[in-house]
Structure 1
Amino acid sequence: MALTLTDVTLTYADGAGRLTALDRVHLRVPGGTIAAVTGPSGSGKSSLLAVAATLIRPDAGRVELDTDSGSIELATLSRRAAATIRRETMGIVFQQPNLIPALTAVEQLEVTAHLGGRSRARRGVTRSRALELLDLVGLADHARKRPAQLSGGQRQRVNIARALMNDPALLVVDEPTSALDSERGAAVLDLIATIAREHRAATVLVTHDPTHLHRMDAVYRMTDGHLSTLAVPAAA
Structure 2
Amino acid sequence: MNTNQERQRLVIGNWKMNGNLADNARLLGSVRESVAGAGACAVAVCVPFPYLSQAQAALSGSAVSWGAQDVSVHGSGAYTGEVSAAMLNDFACRWVLVGHSERRTYHAETNELVAQKAQVALNAGLTPVVCVGETLQQQEAGETAQVIASQLAPVLALGAQAVAKMVIAYEPVWAIGTGRTATPQQAQDVHALIRQSLSELGVAQVQVLYGGSVKGANAASLFAMPDIDGALVGGAALVAEEFLSIAAA
Q: Same fold (TM over 0.5)?
A: no
TM-score (norm 2): 0.39
Per residue, is there more helix in 1 or in 2?
2
TM-score (norm 1): 0.41
Per residue, is there more strand in 1 or in 2?
1
Greater CA radius of gyration, 1 or 2? 1
